[in-house]
Each structure stands twice: as C-alpha cells, then as structure tokens.
A and B are shown apart, each in its own frame.
Chain A
C-alpha cells in the first residue's frame, strides 16, 4: 500500500522568506501527487497536483512543487511567504485510478512577522 511521509510536523518561517515543505512517498509505481492547504476549522483547498508530464508543477497562491522520481519526493516550495500562508499543509498520494488517496500527517506552517 502506498504511504506518505511529511517529516516536518511544524515549520516556522519569517514573512518574505522562502519555504520548502517536504513530502516523500512510498508506492510501487508513479502515483498521482497532491498538496492541499487547510486553515483551522476549514476544509481542504487544492494547491497543486501532479498526474503526468512536466515534473515542475505550478499551483495557486505562488506555490510550486517538483516531482523527483529518483527521490520519491514531491516537495512544495514558495519563494516568498506571506502571513496569510500560515496553515496546515497536507501532501497526498493516490494510485493511477485515484481511488485510494492517502494523506501525510501534515506540516503546520507558522509565519513570523
């Protein structure tokens, strides 16, 4: 079965600094990969997704992620963090038919002024 690891439970960055959130997956084949953001008490918002093709994926709110097959990773990046980016971030993986999505434990992002 596939699994997702987000090594960082909590990350604090200063506003304007760059951000990288790590995500590693374990799966026999190339899965579909996703990043979601969740504000307290809210539902999930899709930031970006990778199905196939270009391994550098652009998302909303200035986020991007790069799929690296050799490292089984799909790290999320943003060049300059805004205070409004403070939230919980979830990486998710699904097999080719998208029928068995699994989420990482999440990384909580705090933004310092």
Chain B
C-alpha cells in the first residue's frame, strides 16, 4: 500500500505555455502533499506544502503565482507551472503524507519537465 502516482512522467512544452502535473495517492487519503524540485545533479528542494482544501504554503524563494498548487481532494494535488521558461526545466517530485503516528511521506515517481 501507500502508492503515489504522477502524471505525466515527462512533458516537453514551449516557452510561455503552462503545464499541469498531477499527483495522486492511489490507495490512501493524503492529508498533506508536498512538491519538490530537483535540478540535474542536485538534491531535492521542497517547493511547497499543501493540505486538502487549504492554500499551499510555499518555501522562501518559490513564486506562488508561477507555481500554482491545488489540493482539491484527499487523493489529488496538482502543480501548474505557468508561463514556463527554460529555467523551469527540472524534475518535479511529489509526495503524500498519510496521517498516522509518523505521518510518513510517500514519494511519486517524478515528472521530467523540459521547456524549449
């Protein structure tokens, strides 16, 4: 159990367009979902934390108007990269937290975004 999926697994888009990435918890209800960004040969950096039905909390330096996060249900969160630019090209990974003693996070497989 505790499977998290992401869609799409990779996407290529033109500069200036918007891209939506979905993160789903397949077999549990996720009280909290997280979005991370990983540039090539670098570590994961937390972008934002979202709770179902609430506005996301963004980390310092992350533009909330550029990276729109919606957590409309306990199994789905979406990240929309608006007006994407080549510097937004990255590996985006989501995780979902299942409420319990440890609130453990389970990670999705990631989405590779390439902006041309």
Binds B, one of A21-29, A59-67, A100-108: A100-108
* Interface of chain A: mostly helix, strand, loop or mixed: loop
Interface membership of B12, Cβ < 8 A: no
Candidate in A36, A44, A106 with the most chain B CB atoms within 10 angstroms: A44
Interface membership of B54, Cβ < 8 A: no
Bound-state Cα–Cα, A35 to B95, Å = 15
- Establish whether residues B43 and A106, one from each chain, have CB atoms under 8 Å apart when the complex forms: yes
Count, chain B residues at interface, CB 8 A = 20
25 residue pairs A–B, Cβ–Cβ below 8 Å? A36-B107, A41-B112, A43-B93, A43-B108, A43-B109, A44-B44, A46-B107, A49-B104, A51-B102, A98-B97, A98-B102, A98-B104, A98-B105, A99-B49, A99-B97, A99-B103, A101-B34, A101-B46, A101-B95, A101-B105, A102-B46, A103-B44, A104-B43, A105-B42, A106-B42
Instruction: Report the minimal beta-carbon distance from B79 to chain A, rounded to whole angstroms.
Output: 15
Instruction: Report the minimal beta-carbon distance from A9 to chain B, rounded to whole angstroms.
Output: 10
Contacts A99-B32, A101-B34; is A44 near B107 (CB within 8 Å)? Answer: yes
Question: Looking at chain A, what size class is its interface with the partner chain?
Answer: 20 to 34
- Inter-chain contacts of B102 with A (CB < 8 A): 32, 51, 98
- Inter-chain contacts of A43 with B (CB < 8 A): 93, 107-110
Bound-state Cα–Cα, A41 to B34, Å = 20
Candidate in A41, A97, A103, A105 with the most chain B CB atoms within 10 angstroms: A103
Interface membership of A94, Cβ < 8 A: yes
B93 contact from A44, A51, A98, Cβ within 8 A: A44
